[in-house]
Structure 1
């Protein structure tokens, strides 16, 4: 009689996933977020909503969708701290961090999870688009996202050096989070901090273009200013913290960072170019403005047309939203320069503490 050996444990079991949703007074946006998670083609193993001192019905809504609700004893004050509050309750292989006003495509997890078949990948995120285009600020942001996620991100991914895995819908290897002390709290933007830290350590961050999520962006100038100030301050904080090591350990990522800094520095000069040409060379203002606008369109429209085709969006609507991006660019530039002054000059001189209070952008 031939003795048979029972099969050993499989080594290719699917990676398990916990979704963490930090939420503070999110009763309006949370239902759509939870519905999109519950309808995933590959459902997560656990959903945790961290109700960070909400005064509305956030907890009740989360519980009604079967999520585990955690309520800290007091307001934690930032998204990273809320996420870290949930981390000890996670025992899965992967953690998907989702903002409470972000909606995932039904195959988001299905598209993203295979990236982690590569053991060097520690964080991955997909393509973020705007959920709404009702106000000028949302329409401008939609143009920014279409351009950035169909031009900058693919190039960065080809060079194996994404600038950031978007915090509204990033997936992390749990061991990478626990070994590094959790979601970074030392800067105001935990997603960029973790993305850069992992790449400095020789690990990989990945952009997956076929994984799509829709974020609710600021619909008013008030909220846009808060969000952009946080983003720009966080970028400069990470420049101060990481750039020296990036130059030696991840030079391609350092290249993107330096290019972004140069764009901030030269942007005012580009914006006043028509005036400079008119006053310096006595060129007619209409001609210089036409030249400037033509150059702008040449640099942006081809990428937007590709993005519209890729996302099956009406080309006409995409082009109609283009003028509104300049409203957002003006806000971006103001706060980029302010953040540069505060975080890269005043903070090192100990004349400012920089931005340390987390404010929601909507």
Structure 2
């Protein structure tokens, strides 16, 4: 009976925590939208800068870092065996409305046709300042990005892309508009899932929509420190200040944004750009999802431990919302994910035994309503997409339960490998998951 009572209160505590945060996310997102309208109304959207690109050329190995060019954006794409998707990514960058660009593909020892496809693209589009940097051996994503940034990037700003992602034509223009604020060091993109024809795809689509909507609140409170690697944009001088990416965690992108935030987020702010829209492929199998979530969770924990000095830190260079709210909640959420599936399972059992389904019905209604609100209030969806996702919304509760089980498995694996959370080895290899790269997706991206 005592065990049952403990489980019940665990379930109640997790449920209350989620409901409170859902409410905060909703309110914060609305205020963020108002701020966006005022920002665009006052300053306008930055116009593309005229630029005559250099002739495309394949980069040589030994080259000193080029001087920074004001107004130029260096788009750096890390790739390892990405022949199925690399052309689609390059095509999305070429269609950008911002023309002062240089594109650098860091090919990390691909054994497929990735390098050849990039060279072919150079020949077909000589007007595009596109360079290929090939690594002789697989050094890892972070190291490959560092090599490209240190040796070849000349831009005042840097946008990084995964080779399976695409950007909307106005994404770079919109990202640069945030840097009118001199305290903005980095801009996180609004990342959406490309494929959603399966239950797994729908799950990832909903998860990304809800997760990225929470970033609106974090931006308003100036407590964001997690910026992914898809279409994230930084000032080059800030990247040089922190010496680019570290290579001792599984999530080098989160490590970079956290390292910048560690300088003091009152001066080096991270902003979420809801209008900086990028799309990426979701994983195709449950096994791949489990591997991905383990990597994300393990890397997140590595960085939380690495930069634990920011947590509850009263120093004036940090905002209170970062040190007393965002970072503690980031750590606490990992523990709630650990117990959430167990608590939900027991709650279902308890409701059936006692014939009181109100608890489960209430939880189902809350999740469904929140998912519908997220869909209806998403400014980047077409009417057709909004209607289709609304039809899928009643399944979100059950799909999220699957994700909770995946997260539980990832948490157990993190505990089993806890030694590497503190004593972090250098990451020197990486492997891209299976890609779709279908013609249908290419057409949609174009």
Q: Please report the TM-score for the alignment, with normalisation by the length of structure 1.
A: 0.85
Tell me if the contact between 1:95 and 1:173 (Cα under 8 Å) persists in the aligned partners. Answer: yes
- Give the structure 2 partner of residue 136 of structure 1: 199
- The 1:92/1:263 distance shift into structure 2, 3 A limit, reads same
Tell me if the contact between 1:49 and 1:69 (Cα under 8 Å) persists in the aligned partners. Answer: yes
- The 1:59/1:225 distance shift into structure 2, 3 A limit, reads same
State the distance in 2 between where 1:184 and 1:225 align. Answer: 24
| Deviation for aligned residue 1:96 | 0.9
State the distance in 2 between where 1:179 and 1:320 align. Answer: 45
| Deviation for aligned residue 1:328 | 2.7
| Deviation for aligned residue 1:210 | 0.7
- Give the structure 2 partner of residue 239 of structure 1: 304
2:154 to 73, 91, 94: 91
* Paired residue secondary structure (1:126): strand
1:277 aligns with 2:350: yes
Tell me if the contact between 1:160 and 1:204 (Cα under 8 Å) persists in the aligned partners. Answer: yes
* Paired residue secondary structure (2:111): coil
How big is each residue's C-alpha offset from its partner over 1:86-106, in whole Å with a ceiling of 9 and x where there is no partner?
012112111111011101000
- Give the structure 2 partner of residue 69 of structure 1: 132
- Give the structure 1 partner of residue 221 of structure 2: 159
- Give the structure 2 partner of residue 24 of structure 1: 80
State the distance in 2 between where 1:270 and 1:303 align. Answer: 25
State the distance in 2 between where 1:310 and 1:19 align. Answer: 23
- Give the structure 2 partner of residue 330 of structure 1: 405
* Paired residue secondary structure (1:267): helix
- Give the structure 2 partner of residue 315 of structure 1: 387
Structure 1 runs (4+) deviating above 6 angstroms are 352-356
Give the aligned CA root-mean-square deviation in angstroms: 2.6
Paired residues, number: 342
Which sits farther off after the overlay, 230-239 or 243-252? Answer: 243-252
| Deviation for aligned residue 1:262 | 4.4
1:53 aligns with 2:114: no
How big is each residue's C-alpha offset from its partner over 1:132-180, in whole Å with a ceiling of 9 and x where there is no partner?
1122222110010111122x11111111122422212111211222222
Tell me if the contact between 1:16 and 1:94 (Cα under 8 Å) persists in the aligned partners. Answer: yes
* Paired residue secondary structure (2:307): helix
- Give the structure 2 partner of residue 6 of structure 1: none
| Deviation for aligned residue 1:273 | 4.3
- Give the structure 1 partner of residue 374 of structure 2: 303
| Deviation for aligned residue 1:51 | 1.3
How big is each residue's C-alpha offset from its partner over 1:40-78, in whole Å with a ceiling of 9 and x where there is no partner?
0002421111111112221122123332111112111x2
- Give the structure 1 partner of residue 143 of structure 2: 81
Unmatched runs of 5 consecutive residues or more in structure 2: 1-68, 123-129, 435-446
* Paired residue secondary structure (2:337): helix
* Paired residue secondary structure (1:94): strand
Tell me if the contact between 1:122 and 1:173 (Cα under 8 Å) persists in the aligned partners. Answer: yes
| Deviation for aligned residue 1:259 | 4.2
- The 1:293/1:20 distance shift into structure 2, 3 A limit, reads same
State the distance in 1 between where 2:109 and 2:281 align. Answer: 21
Q: Please report the TM-score for the alignment, with normalisation by the length of structure 2.
A: 0.70
Tell me if the contact between 2:88 and 2:166 (Cα under 8 Å) persists in the aligned partners. Answer: yes
- Give the structure 2 partner of residue 257 of structure 1: 330
| Deviation for aligned residue 1:195 | 1.4
State the distance in 1 between where 2:90 and 2:365 align. Answer: 44
2:340 to 261, 264, 267: 267
Tell me if the contact between 1:347 and 1:354 (Cα under 8 Å) persists in the aligned partners. Answer: no
- The 1:349/1:184 distance shift into structure 2, 3 A limit, reads closer
How big is each residue's C-alpha offset from its partner over 1:194-251, in whole Å with a ceiling of 9 and x where there is no partner?
1122112111111110110000110112321221111011111111111232321441
* Paired residue secondary structure (1:56): coil
* Paired residue secondary structure (1:51): strand
- The 1:342/1:235 distance shift into structure 2, 3 A limit, reads farther
1:184 aligns with 2:246: yes
Tell me if the contact between 1:16 and 1:45 (Cα under 8 Å) persists in the aligned partners. Answer: yes
